[in-house]
Amino acid sequence: MNHWVIYLDNNSNKKGFIKDFQQGRTPIELQYFKQKTGRLFSHFTLEKLIDEEDKHDIKIISSVGQSLKTMSSGEQKRALLHYLLNERPDYIILDNPFDNLDISFQENLKTILVNHSKHISFIQLASRKEDTLSFINHFGSIIENNLQVIESPLSAEIQIPESFTTITVPQSGIDFINLPNMLINFKDVSISYGEKKILNSINWTVNKGDFWQLSGTNGSGKSTILSMIFGDNPKAYGQNIHLFGSKKGSGESVWDIKKKIGYYAPSMTDKFSGRHSIENMLISGLNDSVGLYVKPTAFQQRIIKQWLKLLDLSDIKNTFFNALSTGKQRLVMTARAMVKQPPLLILDEPTAGMDDDSAALLVALVNKFAEETDTAIIFVSHRKEKGLKPKQTFYLTPHETGSTGSIK
């Protein structure tokens, strides 16, 4: 069987490659797949299926009768994989298959793929070189729009710009006053969806300046916890949750809470589809706006100038955000969540889908921010992110009676 890994970097036109492939414009090196039936294991396929489930009010791929939309991201991937394997195609394109998966399912997925590699071909699109599947026998990479065949697997070489060591994190000029030391406190928090128990008696405190990694297997409740802090998950009301000194549901507005939090999850990038320059994107982080509605003060402009230097982006500060590579977009969005030095910074799987170099850069930025500021950080990631230096990990372990939390 022919199995390919195709490495992507942040300038690779992945969407174009997939589209061409699906429409029969197969690169010459991959003619083997031309007359064969293929399927795509990707978040694009998931989005389509979620849309169809919604439109027709049916459950297409779930074996447990739960709609795809309400499944956790890992559960969605498992369901999709089983659905596609059952269709018995000649080949499956695996678009960064390990993103969003917990470590035990990553191992599980590797075994499933090895077993099926005897009768199905796989084309693995990989942003992380360490993800290369063991049975791969052909190697390539997409440089912008072109496929290049290479001899053997690539390994990552990472360079962090000098500005990360020479420039300190700029002040924000914003004072968050009257904040207690204890920013977040969950006391005996238990959550269910109908019969399904999600969280069981969670006790967790986040203090000023803490650096937490929030971990746990797929579906263990990480997003549920975040939605009770940052979102307006109605399940949070009636629970013993204190945010920035006030009990959740005691009259504070969602906005009051949100302005004390810098938040970034990759899905947010879609909100910024307009034409905003990098510089304006960063300034908008100081004003909590999507676009730039208020003329920035001279002080704000100075702060952002420093940030641009730190990020090594001064030369391209007027470039439109949506023209940037995925890696640079993520870096800008992460910095945007940091610029006001909020009391709390939440990064929800920020490195999913990034190539090795950009992920290392983002991790270095987060470590630097943790060291030089008083902001408390919650970093959610399935990967043991190389080089990330959280001080503590809050780990969710699932049980029939709901996930319990432990500190590691």
Ligand X SMILES: Nc1ncnc2c1ncn2[C@@H]1O[C@H](COP(=O)(O)OP(=O)(O)OP(=O)(O)O)[C@@H](O)[C@H]1O
Binding site for ligand X (CB under 6 A): 70-75, 193, 196, 198, 216, 218-224
Segment holding 41, helix H or strand E: strand 38-41
Q: How far is the CB of 77 from ligand X (least distance, A)?
A: 8
Q: Give the sheet arrangement for strand 261-264, strand by strand.
A: 261-264, 344-348, 376-380, 211-216, 392-397, 404-407
Of 223 and 375, CB closest to ligand X: 223
Of 33 and 105, CB closest to ligand X: 105
Give the side-chain half-sphere CA count within 13 A for 117: 18
Q: How far is the CB of 75 from ligand X (least distance, A)?
A: 5
Do residues 42 and 18 lie in contact, with contact meaning Cβ atoms separated by under 8 Å? yes
Of 115 and 397, CB closest to ligand X: 397
Of 285 and 398, CB closest to ligand X: 398
Structure tokens at 189: 């928090």
Neighbours of 196 (CB within 10 A): 13
Instruction: Name which of 215, 210, 220, 221 is nearest 184 in CA terms.
Output: 210
Q: How far is the CB of 402 from ligand X (least distance, A)?
A: 9
Of 280 and 351, CB closest to ligand X: 351
- CA–CA–CA angle 240, 244, 249 (5° rounding): 45
Q: How far is the CB of 134 from ligand X (least distance, A)?
A: 24
Of 213 and 224, CB closest to ligand X: 224
Q: How far is the CB of 74 from ligand X (least distance, A)?
A: 3
Instruction: Name which of 123, 120, 54 is nearest 86 in CA terms.
Output: 120
Q: How far is the CB of 193 from ligand X (least distance, A)?
A: 4
Specify the 3-state DSSP secondary structure of 107.
helix
Q: How far is the CB of 19 from ligand X (least distance, A)?
A: 27
Structure tokens at 120: 């199905």
Of 198 and 283, CB closest to ligand X: 198
Segment holding 40, helix H or strand E: strand 38-41
Neighbours of 2 (CB within 10 A): 13
Instruction: Name which of 314, 293, 369, 383 is nearest 337 in CA terms.
Output: 369
Of 207 and 267, CB closest to ligand X: 267
Of 11 and 66, CB closest to ligand X: 66
Q: What's the start-to-end Cα distance of the chain, in Å?
A: 43
Do residues 310 and 163 lie in contact, with contact meaning Cβ atoms separated by under 8 Å? yes
35-50 per-residue burial string, b: 16 or more CB within 10 A, e: under 16: eeebbbbbbebbeebb
Strands, E assignment, 151-210: 182-193, 196-207
Of 102 and 356, CB closest to ligand X: 102
Q: How far is the CB of 401 from ligand X (least distance, A)?
A: 14
Q: How far is the CB of 218 from ligand X (least distance, A)?
A: 3
Of 233 and 325, CB closest to ligand X: 233
Q: Give the sheet arrangement for strand 121-126, strand by strand.
A: 38-41, 91-95, 121-126, 4-8, 138-143, 146-150
Query: Cα–Cα distance between 122 and 120 in angstroms, integer?
Result: 6
Q: How far is the CB of 349 from ligand X (least distance, A)?
A: 8
Q: How far is the CB of 194 from ligand X (least distance, A)?
A: 7
